[in-house]
């Protein structure tokens, strides 16, 4: 199969989550919706069910969700609720609702109330003070609740061995995605920003073992290609989610490649692996504790600018000439860390632009002008 065909297959999946959901259900599988961020998807897999990511939608408009939300909430959360209300998600067997930001905290209540008895919601509150034994224990307690609820939905108890196996599957998948991101940089002529995004996005709608097998095959093919001699510019993308094909097309129109990303929906979600031996619940808690350089999570070394410097370093190491930050409207965690990201970038002489986006954007004229102007100065 050609590289192109392989990537198109990922793309077809990434753009048709509904079909995936229907197919899984037709196969008699149970499917659990997983809202952002950092839910232990491994547990869903270990329970023999299919986790599907719910990161809003680029094709929907907020309408019913208005009955629950004031306007000043991000579209990701609002559109997730919209899809729970408009029937898109009716086939789900459960939804995991993490609560790590100030939007998701009250939204967890809206999700639970709005879908009522239709779909069970599985509440999850991660610890921010997550490093010491008691932080890990709290995380384990929370994950144990999730585990029990999943057992109820699946109708059988997952074993520790099931979880260990799931961790292996997920570690392999994360490793494959990390490798793909590197290869996408080396072969950015073939792996366009649109295709790069689609390949990564598909992971949210597939069982991870199947996904990984496909991705490893793609990676092998990519490795055979000569490293491309890119004549355009390269950037690092940053933000919560950068998956809108229209937006990504602007990159291609301006010969901009994505060298690496600091995107929550992409690399931030697969940077950290879990231990494959020992107590698997502890392994998952430790994995969460190890998540670092994250706008959503507490950094005990807060008097340093670790996250800003980490991202600046990523730009340098990936060979990018600048950074494009896609700021989701109303996302205060991202907004809060912007001044120090800017500081770190400025200190390294790395140019950047910040573009406001949301998932209801349909007209990218302004973004196009800004990106084009940015590419010209790089």
> Which SS3 state, helix, strand or coil, does residue 9 take?
helix
The DSSP H or E segment spanning 233 is strand 233-239
Tell me the closest approach of the beta carbon of residue 80 to ligand SF4, in angstroms. 9
Contact indicator for 285, 163 with CB cutoff of 8 Å: no
Select the binding partner of residue 36 from other proteins, ligand SF4, none (C-beta < 5 to 8 A, by kind).
ligand SF4
Distance CA 80, CA 115 (A): 12
Tell me the closest approach of the beta carbon of residue 126 to other proteins, in angstroms. 7
C-alpha dihedral (85, 86, 92, 98), degrees to nearest 10:
-40
Select the binding partner of residue 255 from other proteins, ligand SF4, none (C-beta < 5 to 8 A, by kind).
none
Select the binding partner of residue 127 from ligand SF4, other proteins, none (C-beta < 5 to 8 A, by kind).
other proteins
Select the binding partner of residue 240 from ligand SF4, other proteins, none (C-beta < 5 to 8 A, by kind).
ligand SF4
Nearer to ligand SF4, 76 or 96 (CB): 76
Q: Which of residues 17-56 bind ligand SF4 (CB under 6 A)?
A: 36
Distance CA 47, CA 148 (A): 10
295-314 footprint of ligand SF4 as x/- string (CB under 6 A): -x------------------
Select the binding partner of residue 278 from ligand SF4, other proteins, none (C-beta < 5 to 8 A, by kind).
none
Contact indicator for 246, 364 with CB cutoff of 8 Å: yes
| Interface residues toward other proteins, by CB under 8 A | 67-70, 72-73, 99-103, 105-110, 112-113, 123, 125-129, 132, 134-135, 137-138, 141-142, 295, 298-300, 302-305, 327, 329-333, 335-340, 342
Select the binding partner of residue 76 from other proteins, ligand SF4, none (C-beta < 5 to 8 A, by kind).
ligand SF4
Does position 103 interact with ligand SF4 (CB under 6 A)? The reply is yes
Does position 269 interact with ligand SF4 (CB under 6 A)? The reply is no
> Which SS3 state, helix, strand or coil, does residue 187 take?
coil
Distance CA 171, CA 173 (A): 5
> What does each C-alpha distance from 357 to 208, 244, 326 come to in angstroms?
29, 10, 6
> What is the 3-class SS of 114-140, one letter each residue?
HHCCCCCEEEECCCCCCCCHHHHHHHH
Tell me the closest approach of the beta carbon of residue 24 to other proteins, in angstroms. 27
Distance CA 33, CA 51 (A): 6
> What is the 3-class SS of 263-279, one letter each residue?
ECCCHHHCCCCCCCCCC
Select the binding partner of residue 90 from ligand SF4, other proteins, none (C-beta < 5 to 8 A, by kind).
none
Q: Which residues are near ligand SF4 by CB under 6 A?
A: 36, 74, 76-77, 101, 103-104, 240, 296, 328, 331, 333
């Amino acid at each position: 199969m050609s590289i192109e065909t392989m990537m198109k297959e990922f793309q077809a999946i990434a753009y048709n989550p509904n079909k995936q959901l229907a197919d899984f259900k037709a196969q008699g599988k149970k499917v659990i919706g997983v809202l952002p961020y950092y839910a232990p998807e491994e547990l869903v897999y270990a329970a023999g069910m299919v986790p599907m990511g719910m990161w809003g939608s680029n094709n929907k408009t907020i309408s019913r969700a208005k009955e629950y939300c004031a306007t000043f909430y991000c579209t990701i959360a609002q559109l997730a609720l919209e899809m729970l209300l408009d029937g898109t998600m009716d086939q789900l067997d459960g939804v995991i609702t993490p609560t790590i930001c100030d939007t998701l905290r009250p939204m967890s209540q809206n999700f639970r109330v709005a879908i009522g008895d239709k779909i069970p919601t599985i509440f999850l509150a991660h610890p921010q003070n997550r490093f010491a034994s008691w932080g890990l224990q709290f995380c384990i307690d929370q994950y144990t609740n999730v585990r029990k609820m999943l057992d109820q939905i699946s109708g059988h108890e997952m074993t520790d061995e099931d979880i260990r196996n799931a961790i292996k599957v997920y570690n392999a998948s994360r490793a494959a995605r990390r490798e793909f991101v590197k290869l996408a940089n080396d072969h950015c002529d073939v792996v366009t920003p649109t295709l790069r995004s689609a390949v990564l996005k598909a992971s949210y709608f597939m069982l991870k073992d199947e996904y990984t097998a496909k991705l490893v095959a793609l990676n092998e093919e990519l490795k055979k290609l000569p490293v491309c001699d890119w004549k355009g510019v390269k950037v690092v993308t940053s933000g919560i989610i950068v998956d809108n094909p229209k937006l990504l097309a602007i990159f291609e129109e301006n010969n901009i490649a994505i060298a690496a990303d600091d995107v929550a929906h992409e690399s931030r979600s697969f940077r950290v692996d879990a231990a494959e031996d020992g107590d698997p619940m502890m392994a998952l808690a430790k994995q969460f504790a190890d998540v670092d350089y994250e706008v959503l999570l507490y950094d005990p070394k807060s008097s340093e600018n670790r996250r800003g410097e980490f991202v600046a370093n990523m730009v340098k190491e990936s060979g990018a000439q600048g950074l494009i930050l896609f700021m989701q409207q109303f996302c205060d965690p991202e907004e809060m860390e912007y001044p120090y990201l800017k500081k770190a970038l400025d200190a390294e002489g790395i140019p950047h632009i910040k573009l406001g986006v949301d998932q209801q954007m349909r007209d990218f004229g302004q973004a196009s002008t800004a990106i084009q102007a940015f590419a010209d100065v790089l």
